[in-house]
Amino acid sequence: MICFQCDNETDFGIKEDADVEQEYKGHTLWIKTPVTVCKKCGWEMLTDGQLDALVKATKKVYEKKVAKEN
């Protein structure tokens, strides 16, 4: 993995509860999800597995929001 911000290749960590903004079916949603963080510059990025989890979490948050509105 390489950080797109600073080209770091070795020092990354996991932030378990990052707030990620998602646009889904015309709604802006904020999703709490794990992300990978460059320890050198703080840039947050998603691995393939984290992206899959974000997609699932986004759908769940959307479904809850629509249920409350109806």
Q: How many domains does the chain have?
A: 1
Burial of residue 33, with CB atoms counted within 10 A of its CB: 0-12 exposed, 13-18 middle, 19 or more buried: buried
Residue 23 lies in a domain: yes
Range of the domain at 25: 12-69
| Report field, pTM of the whole predicted structure over 0.85 | no
Residue 39, in any domain of the structure: yes
Residue 52 domain-assigned? Answer: yes
Cβ-contact 54, 31 below 8 angstroms? yes
Which tens digit of pLDDT belongs to each residue from 37-48?
999 999 999 999
For the domain that residue 64 is a member of, what is the CATH number? 3.10.20
Q: Tens of pLDDT along 31-70?
A: 999 999 999 999 999 999 999 999 999 999 999 988 888 7
